[in-house]
Structure 1
Amino acid sequence: MVIELYPNLKMYEIRENKGSMAYNRLAMQLSFAMWKIFELYKNSTFTITLDCIDDVVVFKLSDERPNITTYQIKTKDNNAGNFELKSLTGKGVFKKLYDHIEKIDDDVKEVILVSNLSLKYKKSIITGENITLNSIEDSIKEIIVEDMSQNSTFGTKGFSNKIKFSQIDMSIQNHIDISKNKFNDLLINQEIDISLVTANALFNTLSHILHTRQCHEFSIQDSILTILPRKSFTSDEFEKLIEDARSTRELIQYQDIVNNYKNEKLKLIEESQYKQALATFKDKVATSPNIMANLMNKGIDSAKRRIGEGSETRCQILKELIVEFDDEFSEIYFSEKEIEILLMNCIERAIEEGGIN
Structure 2
Amino acid sequence: MQCGIAASASRRLVRRRSDKKGETDVHQSALGRLLQKGEPMDAAGLRACIEALCDEDIVCRTPGNTDNDRWQIAAASHAELSARTLQRLLYDSWRVTSYSGLQQRGHSVAQDLIPRLDIDAAGVGEAAEAPAMTPHHFPRGASPGTFLHNLFEELDFTQPINPQWVQEKLELSGFETRWEPVLTRWLDTVLHVPLNETGVSLSVLTEREKQVEMEFYLPIAQPLTAGELDALIRRYDPLSAGCPALDFMHVRGMLKGFIDLVFRYEGRYYLLDYKSNWLGEDSAAYTQTAMAAAMQAHRYDCSTSFIRWHCTVTFVIAWRITTMNAISAASSISFYAGWIANVRSRVFLPLVLRRR
TM-score, normalised to structure 2's length?
0.21
More helix as a share of residues: 1
